[in-house]
Amino acid sequence: MDTETIENTNFQYVKLANEIEERIKKGEFTAGEKLTSLRKMHKQSGLSITTVYQSYIELEKRGIIESRSKSGFFVKPLISSYIKVPDILKPKIEPRRISINSVACSIVENLNDPNILHLGASAPPKELLPIKQLAKIIKKESTKNLENIIHTYGNPSGNISLRKQILKRTVGKNQKNIYLDDIIITSGCLNAVTLCLKAITKKGDTVAVESPTFHCFLQLIEDLGLMALELPTNISTGVELDNLEQILDENNVKVCLFIPTFNNPIGSNMPVQKRKEIVELLNRKEIPVIEDDIHGDLFFEGRLQPTLKSFDRKGLVLYCSSFSKSISPGLRVGWVIPGRFKENIKRLKLNTTVATPTLNEFVIAEYLKSGAHDRHLKTLRNRLRNQMSIVTNTIAQCFPEGVKISVPAGGMSLWVQLSENINTFDLYKKTMEENISFLPGGLCSGTGKYNHCMRISCGLPFDEKLKQGLDTIGRIIKDISLG
Ligand SMILES: Cc1ncc(COP(=O)(O)O)c(C=O)c1O
């Protein structure tokens, strides 16, 4: 964006363009949507049609909207049509010991540093979370009530009112035959996944995951002394079904750990038929699958996907999720629906934490009861979709030609592939000198195949600082390429 032009707000058309740009970023108009007509905007703003037209041309120059002949102006859709998607790499299929914890921890350690532009953190910023409503809930409780909530340990399976709210939402996700007792509250989704892995595996067992996968899964697999079997994964449809049965047999897989909906980091979203077939296969082979559905609510178009759990006939799908991406990561409230492993998981939770924090459970339960969550989710989805669109456009403009970018239909992460001579661990060191962080792709696999990839979060609202951050990364990549 041309800062000189933007700062020159003496011009009415620039002022209007800035206002509309802000509204687009807030999600009032979604990517691909038609902008208010010139005539209508002229009436709304009190400015002449010529001035409104100039604003639209200005927005077009900024790359935010586009004119379509005889149809008007539209918010630019994702530019997937002219950006290539990252390659699907075919790592050797073999169980591997993982060793990424020391590097991963040093990178994640910086997560709370306010001086760093965090492009690696897959979390929504406070502007996109219902913090005011949560604060209201706490403020309106009397000391007596708060005392009742926090004076003792909570129910080991979790607050009943919270579980009722989760049950309601679970039924909305096509999961039938789930009852209150089947839901166990955890300290976030990662805690749920940890409990599941602990309940099913013992040291040396093999866990099948997508390739690449969420780096925390690999860190956990390393910590638990497990082996990771990275499965061939399609950038848009997730784990490949071809030869899956043979791969599972040959590698003695104990459990699968999948993110079928808006996978972190690549954004893949498994089609319904594939979900059904995978669960049928795993059910038949009696192999449990841990399903991480943390991004399930964050779809940009259409509706909720049926979960793997919804196809499970044998209690072998352990469903995990949390409110970290939509309400508050800090409250650490998640849940697991562990199927036939329920008693094991209950015992593990009891033995490790007794119960989850009662005040946190209460706040989320009250917020869900208020009925505000669905409205909030709608806004959040629009905002994330627009941010992702703008970040994609910006990366395409700022990074060297040939960059490949994923096109997720939900969630908040972009997977970016650079040319093979760029090692993103080295790149990370250089961008950190400029206080900019991202997630090096090498952390998402034990194969060493993704060292020229990176994960960029679209959680942060797009502003000049973010634009400059991406510009800087692009400049450093170009410098490295030139040697
Ligand atoms: C796929 C996935 N699972 C789990 C988590 C962690 O969730 P929580 O903060 O609820 O533990 C994340 C966070 O980035 C994630 O992306």
In CATH, what number is assigned to the domain containing residue 431?
A: 3.90.1150.10
Looking at the structure, tell me whether residues 208 and 241 fall in a common domain: yes
Pocket probe mutation, ligand 1, options 185, 209, 294, max atoms within 8 Å of Cβ: 294
190 CB less than 6 Å from ligand 1? yes
The CATH number of whichever domain residue 8 belongs to comes to: 1.10.10.10
The residue whose CA has the least distance to atom 16 of ligand 1 is 264
Range of the domain at 211: 141-369
Q: How many residues does the chain have?
A: 483
Residue 323 CA, closest ligand 1 atom number:
10
Query: Burial code of 65-90, b = ≥16 C-beta within 10 A, e = fewer?
Result: beeeeeeebbbbebbeeebebbeebe
Cα-to-centroid distance, 104 and ligand 1 (Å):
15
Residue 263 CA, closest ligand 1 atom number:
1
* pLDDT for residue 80: 46
188 CB less than 6 Å from ligand 1? yes
Closest CA to 207 of 96, 90, 321, 89: 96
Looking at the structure, tell me whether residues 268 and 160 fall in a common domain: yes
* pLDDT for residue 26: 65
The CATH number of whichever domain residue 239 belongs to comes to: 3.40.640.10
Looking at the structure, tell me whether residues 284 and 168 fall in a common domain: yes
Residue 118 falls inside a structural domain:
no
Cα-to-centroid distance, 189 and ligand 1 (Å):
6
Looking at the structure, tell me whether residues 292 and 418 fall in a common domain: no
Cα-to-centroid distance, 255 and ligand 1 (Å):
19
Looking at the structure, tell me whether residues 277 and 414 fall in a common domain: no
Residue 190 CA, closest ligand 1 atom number:
11
CA distance 226 to 201: 8
221 CB less than 6 Å from ligand 1? no
Looking at the structure, tell me whether residues 153 and 219 fall in a common domain: yes
pLDDT per residue, tens digit, the chain (483 aa), is 434 344 445 689 999 998 888 777 666 777 778 899 999 999 999 999 999 999 999 888 777 788 887 788 988 764 544 578 888 777 789 999 998 888 888 887 777 788 999 998 888 888 889 999 999 999 988 888 888 889 889 999 999 999 999 999 887 666 678 999 999 999 999 999 999 999 999 999 999 999 999 999 999 999 999 999 999 999 999 999 999 999 999 999 999 999 999 999 999 999 999 999 999 999 999 999 999 999 999 998 888 889 999 999 999 999 999 999 999 999 999 999 999 999 999 999 999 999 999 999 999 999 999 999 999 999 999 889 888 988 998 898 899 988 999 989 899 999 999 999 999 999 999 999 999 999 999 999 999 999 999 999 998 888 889 999 999 999 999 999 887
Looking at the structure, tell me whether residues 346 and 404 fall in a common domain: no
Cα-to-centroid distance, 195 and ligand 1 (Å):
14
214 CB less than 6 Å from ligand 1? yes
* pLDDT for residue 174: 64
Looking at the structure, tell me whether residues 468 and 389 fall in a common domain: yes
Closest CA to 391 of 296, 470, 329: 470
Beta strand pairing status for 334-337 and 184-186?
A: antiparallel
Cα-to-centroid distance, 45 and ligand 1 (Å):
43
* pLDDT for residue 172: 66
264 CB less than 6 Å from ligand 1? yes
Going 297 to 299 to 300 to 305, the CA torsion angle's sign is negative
Cα-to-centroid distance, 214 and ligand 1 (Å):
8
259 CB less than 6 Å from ligand 1? yes
Cβ distance 95 to 347 under 8 Å?
Answer: no
Looking at the structure, tell me whether residues 425 and 469 fall in a common domain: yes
Cα-to-centroid distance, 190 and ligand 1 (Å):
6
* Total domain count, the chain: 3
* pLDDT for residue 251: 97
Looking at the structure, tell me whether residues 414 and 380 fall in a common domain: yes
Tokens of 418: 């650079």
Looking at the structure, tell me whether residues 390 and 342 fall in a common domain: no
Residue 108 falls inside a structural domain:
no
CA distance 109 to 318: 29
Closest CA to 181 of 352, 346, 355, 363: 346
335 CB less than 6 Å from ligand 1? no
Looking at the structure, tell me whether residues 152 and 293 fall in a common domain: yes
Going 262 to 263 to 266 to 272, the CA torsion angle's sign is negative
Residue 131 falls inside a structural domain:
no
Q: What are phi and psi of 255, to 5 degrees?
A: -155, 150
* Neighbour count for residue 179 (Cβ, 10 Å): 9
Strand order across the beta sheet in which 439-440 lies = 404-405, 413-417, 453-457, 439-440
